[in-house]
Structure 1
Amino acid sequence: MKRVILVALVGLSVSAPAFGVVAPEVPGDLVVSKVDTTHYPQVTMIVAPPRLLAPRDLPADAFSVTENGERREVNVARLPNSGLQIALVLDPTVPPELFRAAQGAALDFVLRLPIGTRVALIDAGAPPEVTLPATTDLVAATRAVGDLTRRPDRAIYDAVRRADAELTPASQARHTVVVFTGGRDRSSSITLDALKRRLTVRGTSVYAIELSGGDTGGALATLAAGAGGESVRVASTELVGAYQRVADVLLNQYRVSFAARSRGRAQLSVGVAADGISGERSLGVELTALEGTSRRAGGAVPSERGGGRAVAEPLAAGVAIAMALLAGGLLVLLGRAGLRARSTPSSQRSAR
């Protein structure tokens, strides 16, 4: 019953055309997040189907894999969303109208998550601040997003490290950090290489949303690729669409595995096809028994988590969620009003 109430309220709040939803272009519209070769010749990939297939429960025969042009038999399992843990990182240094738009997009993202998802919120200023310790209380999460304020200086790498520390080890847990930034890191104490190693050891994925006009130097794209995730550069008017696509990917992932027959560098092609809708992604992979692009959490990286607590699902969530939705809708409308005057047209999309 609580899930029905939440879905109904979300539908009422996010259907307004003023949101100007523009989804970012994703080549092939099929996402391969992680490729794990640590158990070679067994190769395991995390795959999200094209967005038009996302809500469906796809059968195994909808997936295909070729290795150097030769088709392989695959094992497919849909990943349960019950183990999903997400830490949101927001850049507080962007101009006011962009900040409001980012808040509204992040709120829309939170409201798309199923009840029971653990969510944390980190302000990426210097130093980073945990404005919401990891919790399953989505009402508290919407309030925390709305309460964010702008402040100078950004420490994106330190904020991602702090976000990762908020994600707790658990059976079948899927750890993800979603980052929004308007520019490059300015004052973090951790280096990009050290952050990559940490995320790899802990098995944490990174999805980065970067403003196309910002100067990030490509660092977050490198981080996302290394950690098992995606990075997209979007115009200021495309933030809601970008967050929506990340939600689609995270909530509709499949584990696809096959037995490799070659060694060294190999060209893989992953495809999904069902009901006349299809998508394909090609990628080069080093097929060895060495460390792959993802590993299980629980390595030797010390925990930095500081007292995050789980909050029980609210029994009387209707009124509180409705109030949060109204506040979030206002944030987005205010952000869109400012962006109409200053941003580039939504038709000017950046290519990934």
Structure 2
Amino acid sequence: MSLLSTNIRFLHDNLVILAERIISTMPSPLSVVYFVNSGSEANDLALRLARCHTKSNDVVTLDHAYHGHVTSLIEISPMKLRRMAKHCDVPTLPYVHVASCPDVYRGKYRDCDFPATEDLGQKYADDVLQILDNLKAEGRKPACYIAESLQSCGGQIIYPKDYLKKVFRYIREAGGICIADEVQVGFGRVGSHMWAFEIHDVIPDIVTMGKPMGNGHPVSAVVTTPEISASFQALGISYFNTFGGNPVSCAIALAVMDVIENERLMQNAQEVGQILMTKLKNLKEKHPLIGDVRGIGFFIGIDLVLDQNSRQPATEETLHIVENLKRNGIILSREGPYDNILKFKPPMCFDRDNADFLVEKLSQALTEVEQKTNH
């Protein structure tokens, strides 16, 4: 550490090796890497790249989304804006366009309101298309569409089939680019793939990553195409970040990728995630508080309800269950617009014994709450 230089104007082998390692996991033409320090920095840079490349300022984002804590990202994070609006005036921003969150359980288009043959992915994609039509009528175009590859803070949302594929096509036809926020869902968490966008059979124009990249150490990155990077470089100012891409951070990120590969953590997420999903779905048959169980790999959500038919969110009950689990040594978050979603994102080393323990204690917590509330 005494010899550490953090000035990225001077290359270090670790920076190049890490960039090549990340690119090796990406589809073509994603081949240019910028290193930063947090998911917020990564998403902020992604917006700058998109706006520079398209010469547009308009952003399409999803309802209930969260993309970071800096001003540029709070503006495109309806989850935060809606909560802020309860305490202060929040201006309406003419360049931010909010599309419906593609939540088929409690969103605008619910599975229970349509026949099984209905293409809900198309219906949600049509909402984005309507935003683009409105922009075109005003002589404008989108800079970008930004979304997590699976929405996290909005309630652990699994998008309907072909939703992202259709939206990406509409955005590109309108002159915009597509940003996949992988900060919470990347690095093998879905089990079947390294990056969650891959399960949708799409290739973004920009990918952002963060949290798990350093396993607690502050390191993150933006990956994009040579074409978009060239537009950014044409501004005449090079991108500089004092700590982004420093040798220590790069060494840590490389070690994390080694562990993911050598300890077969993606396979673990897929196998144990499937076991956990099966156990949680079995719990649903026993506990009326559980309205929906959804997920893939180690990205799982349970929607707790007061009534399985009306799907009224069980907000207070969810809080009691989270507190109960904490007393038993299990830390879970609650998410979603009604704070009624139990959010499962366990460490990638989470094993079958952990899954058994979790399900046992969760069942006990559900039973306790159901008895108190006469469910």
TM-score (norm 2): 0.31
Q: Which is richer in strand? A: 1
By relative contact order (CA 8 Å, sep 6+), the higher-ranking structure is: 1
TM-score (norm 1): 0.33
Q: Which is richer in helix? A: 2
Q: Which protein is bigger by CA-based radius of gyration?
A: 2
